[in-house]
Each structure stands twice: as structure tokens, then as C-alpha cells.
Amino acid sequence: MAPLALAWHGWRHRNELAPQRRGATTTFLVTVGLGGDNIAIWIPILRAQGVLRGITVALTILVLDIGAVGLARYLVQRPSVIQFGQRWSLTLMPPLYCGLAVLIVWQCRWFSFLG
């Protein structure tokens, strides 16, 4: 329900919200902070699979994360991407968050009681 609440807040305050510029350190710290709950899930999984498989999974995730960060860094340095984001972000974010909320609820089979 959090994406739906974020979408509603963004839609209601779309004219009041000023874009904020954040640095790499802030982005990194927020990402680590938001990912902390994943530790509770991954530690038992990695322990149950053995050391070698756990290291393989961890290295795979690390490589994919580095690739995603590299791609994001490459994209945000392009003027056309920056202009698109500045122009359309406040318009596109509420529908994207609503779509994400519906997808999450659908994947969790929350609507299974309907049919």
C-alpha cells in the first residue's frame, strides 16, 4: 500500500513539490538503509545453501547491482534524460506508483477472495 500512498501524496502535492538535488552519498545511504530489511531474508537463505553457493549468489547480486548503478549513472549524465525527468517526473510518478501498487497487490494474490 506504500506505493499507493506515495502516488496519492505526489498527485495531491504535485505543484508544491520542488525537485531536490541529492548527492551520491545520500543516495547510497538511503539505498543501504532501505535494503536493511533484506538481510533478515537473505541470511537464512544463504546459510541453508552452503558457503560456495552463498558466495556465488552474493557475487552475482553484487555484479548486477554494480551494473545497474553504472547504467543509472550513465543515463543521468545525458542532457536529454535530465530534461525528460525534469519535465515529466511529477506527471508520471503518481500513475507509476499506482501501477506498482496494483502489481504488488495482484502478485500477492490479495484479490483472490473476489474470484
Write the secondary structure of 70-95 as one string of H (helix), E (strand) and C (coil): HHHHHHHCCHHHHHHHHHHHHHHHHH
The count of structural domains within the chain is: 2
Whether residue 101 lies inside any domain: the answer is yes
- Does residue 86 surpass a pLDDT of 60? yes
Top-confidence residue, 107 or 30:
107
Range of the domain at 102: 89-114
Per the CB < 8 A criterion, the answer to whether 89 and 7 are in contact is: no
pTM: 0.50
Q: Give, to the nearest 10 degrees, the angle between helix 79-107 and helix 51-76.
A: 140
Could you give the CA distance from residue 79 to residue 76 in angstroms, rounded to a whole number? 8
Whether residue 7 lies inside any domain: the answer is no
Whether residue 12 lies inside any domain: the answer is no
Which has the closest alpha carbon to 38: 59, 67, 61, 22? 61
Q: What local confidence, expressed as pLDDT, does residue 35 receive?
A: 73
Q: What is the pLDDT of residues 37-84, one digit of tens each?
A: 677 777 787 788 888 988 898 899 889 989 999 999 999 899 999 999
Whether residue 109 lies inside any domain: the answer is yes
